[in-house]
C-alpha cells in the first residue's frame, strides 16, 4: 500500500505520517523534511530551496521533482507515504511518469480536511524540536519542560515559515496550487477525504480505516 497524504499546511500530515511509519512500517517521504535536511547540511539544493521556503512560497517544480525521483529510485520495495508531494498539478503529472518508470503505484490519495481558522491557530502555535523534528503546540501539546523536547532534550523553535505573514502566503499557495489536486485525484479514482479535526488517535483511525 502506497499513499499520498495531502492537505493544507497545518492539516497534520507530518503527525499522521509519523504514526503510519511507526505502526505500518511505511517509509515517509516528506519533501519539506528533505529540504530542511538539505538546508541544515548546507547543500546546493538546500541553498536553492531556502529563499522560497522562508518566504512561504513553493519551491520550483523541477527542483522538487528531481529530489523525489532520487528517493523513489531507492525504495527497495518498501511501502511509502508521500507527505507534502505532489503540491501542484505539474508535480502530480511528473509523479505519474516517475511511478511508471520505477514500476510503482499509488493506491490512495488521502486528503486531510481542516478548516482555515483552525490551520492558522495550529501553525502559529507550532514549535519544532531542533534535534529530532518532533512537533509541539504552545497550547494543545506542551512539552514537559518549557522549550525542551520530551523525546531528545533538544531546544524547541518556531519554524521561520510559521510566522503569521508567511503562513498567509503558504495558505494562499495551497489554495492556488495544491487544492486543484482534489479533482486530479478524484478523476484517477484515488481520492479519499478524512476529517483532520479531533484527537490525533481518532484521526489516525479514520485514515487507517480509509486505506
Q: Per-residue x/- mask for ligand AMP, residues 48 to 77, rule CB under 6 A?
A: ----xx--xxxx----x-------------
Closest CA to 32 of 173, 207, 176, 149: 173
On the CB side of 104, CA atoms within 13 Å amount to 26
- Contact by Cβ (8 Å): 36, 14: no
Q: Which is nearer to ligand AMP, 62 or 205 (CB)?
A: 62
Is 87 among the residues that bind ligand AMP (CB under 6 A)? Answer: yes
Q: Which is nearer to ligand AMP, 170 or 206 (CB)?
A: 170
105 part of the active site: no
Q: Which is nearer to ligand AMP, 35 or 80 (CB)?
A: 35
Q: Per-residue x/- mask for ligand AMP, residues 145 to 184, rule CB under 6 A?
A: ----------------x--------x--------------
- Contact by Cβ (8 Å): 169, 56: yes
User: Cα-atom radius of gyration of the chain, to the nearest Å?
Assistant: 16
On the CB side of 105, CA atoms within 13 Å amount to 6
159 part of the active site: yes
Question: Looking at 50, 141, 159, 163, which residue is catalytic?
Answer: 159
Is 122 among the residues that bind ligand AMP (CB under 6 A)? Answer: no
* Shortest Å, Cβ 181 to ligand AMP: 11
Query: Which alpha helices (DSSP H) does 25-80 contain, by range?
Result: 31-40, 44-54, 61-72
**Residues marked as catalytic:** 13, 87, 126, 159, 170
Amino acid at each position: 500500500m502506497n499513499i499520498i497524504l495531502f492537505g493544507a499546511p497545518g492539516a497534520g500530515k507530518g503527525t499522521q505520517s509519523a504514526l503510519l511509519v511507526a505502526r505500518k512500517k511505511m517509509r515517509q517521504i516528506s519533501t519539506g523534511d528533505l529540504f530542511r535536511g538539505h538546508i541544515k547540511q548546507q547543500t546546493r539544493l538546500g541553498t536553492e530551496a531556502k529563499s522560497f521556503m522562508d518566504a512561504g512560497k513553493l519551491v520550483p517544480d523541477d527542483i522538487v521533482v528531481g529530489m523525489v525521483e532520487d528517493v523513489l529510485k531507492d525504495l527497495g520495495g518498501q511501502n511509502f507515504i508521500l507527505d507534502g508531494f505532489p503540491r501542484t498539478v505539474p508535480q502530480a503529472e511528473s509523479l505519474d511518469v516517475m511511478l511508471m518508470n520505477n514500476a510503482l503505484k499509488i493506491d490512495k490519495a488521502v486528503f486531510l480536511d481542516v478548516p482555515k481558522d483552525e490551520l492558522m491557530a495550529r501553525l502559529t502555535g507550532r514549535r519544532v524540536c531542533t534535534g529530532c523534528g518532533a512537533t509541539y503546540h504552545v497550547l494543545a501539546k506542551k512539552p514537559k519542560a518549557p522549550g525542551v523536547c520530551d523525546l531528545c532534550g533538544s531546544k524547541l523553535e518556531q519554524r521561520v515559515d510559521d510566522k503569521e505573514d508567511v503562513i498567509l502566503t503558504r495558505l494562499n499557495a495551497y489554495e492556488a496550487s495544491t487544492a486543484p489536486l482534489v479533482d486530479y485525484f478524484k478523476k484517477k479514482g484515488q481520492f479519499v477525504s478524512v476529517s483532520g479535526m479531533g484527537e490525533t488517535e481518532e484521526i489516525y483511525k479514520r485514515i487507517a480505516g480509509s486505506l
